[in-house]
Amino acid sequence: MILLTLAQPALTQWTIKSLTIELYPDGAAMVSYLIEVYDGVGMLNITLLGVPEFLIVSDDEGNPLHYELYDDMISILLMGSRYVNVTYYTMSLTFKEGEVWKLSVSEVPTEHIVVLPEGAKVVGLTEIPLSIEIVDGRTRLIMPKGTYEIEYVVPITPPIKPPEEKPPETPPKEAPPPSQERPALDMWLLILAIVVAIVVILTIIAIERRRRLSSEISEEEREILNALKRLGGEAYQYEVARMVNLPKTTLWRHVRRLADKGLIEIEKRGRQNYLKLR
C-alpha cells in the first residue's frame, strides 16, 4: 500500500505555517519547517533550503513519517497528519570571506525567521527585513520571501583569565648542593621522553584514522578524489563537476563529507568553491 501511494501524484494541499533558519558560529544552519496539511492523505512534496543532513520528519504528535529524499526535494507520506515538522542541519547555505560570514538563500516561498549566532553583528543586507530584534543576545530578523544575502560577523571572545594572585613573600632559598642537580636533570629527561612518546602515539593514531577514512569513502567520493588528482590536486568545484557525472547538490554533499573526513580542503574564492587534496 505504501509503494502504491508513493507512485500516486501529490494532490495534497498544504501551506508553510512557520520557517526558521538558526545559524551557528561554525557556519552550520538548523532549518525548521512547520507545515499545515489540509486533507492529511497522499503525498507532500516540498523543495528544501540547502542540502539537508541529519533530517527528522514527524507529525504533530512527534511520530516519525516515511519520506524519500531526492537531493533538495523531499516527498513525505502522510498518514492522516494535520501538521508536519521537518528539521535538519545544512552547511550549504553559508560561506565565509575573510572575517565575514554570508547567508545566501534563494526563492524562499514565505516570510521567515533568521536567528544569528550569539553576539553576531549584521554588516550587510541585500533585502530589507520586516523586523529586527535582539533576543537573549542573538539578533532575530523577520525576512520576506524571495532571494537575499545577509552578511554578518561573529565576534571572537578571548578566554577570561583569572586574576593573578601574588605569591606570599618567602625568604630567599639557599642554592641546593651539587648533589641535587642530577635528580633535576633526570626529571627533565623523563618528561622529554614522555612528550616524544605522546607525539609518536598521536602520529600513529592520525595515520590509522586517515587509512580508515580512506577505506570508508563511497564510489562517488572516490571519483571526486580521482578527478582532483587528475587536475593536479586542486581545482574549482565546477571543474570537478565536469569530470564526474553527479548532480550539483549531490556533488556538494559528497564534497562536504570528504572535507569532514579530512581528505580535502574547501576554500571560498569569490562565490566559487576551490577544492584541494590534503
pLDDT of residue 9: 46
pLDDT digits (tens), the chain, 278 positions: 344 344 444 556 889 999 999 999 998 999 999 999 987 777 888 889 988 988 999 988 888 988 998 878 898 888 788 899 999 999 989 998 888 999 999 889 999 999 999 989 999 999 999 999 999 889 999 999 999 999 999 988 655 556 666 666 666 666 555 555 567 777 888 888 898 889 888 878 777 766 665 557 888 888 899 999 998 999 999 999 988 888 888 989 989 998 988 889 999 898 899 999 98
pLDDT of residue 20: 96
Helix, strand, or coil here: 126? Answer: coil
Burial of 51 (0-12, 13-18, 19+ CB in 10 A): buried
pLDDT of residue 171: 63
Torsion of CA 116, 122, 128, 129, to 10 degrees: 30
pLDDT of residue 216: 73
For residue 77 the three cell numbers come to 507520506
The CA-to-CA distance between both ends of the chain, in Å, stands at 48
Question: DSSP characters for 189-245?
Answer: HHHHHHHHHHHHHHHHHHHHHHHHHHHT--HHHHHHHHHHHHTTSEEEHHHHHHHS-
pLDDT of residue 72: 81
pLDDT of residue 71: 78
* pTM metric for this prediction: 0.55
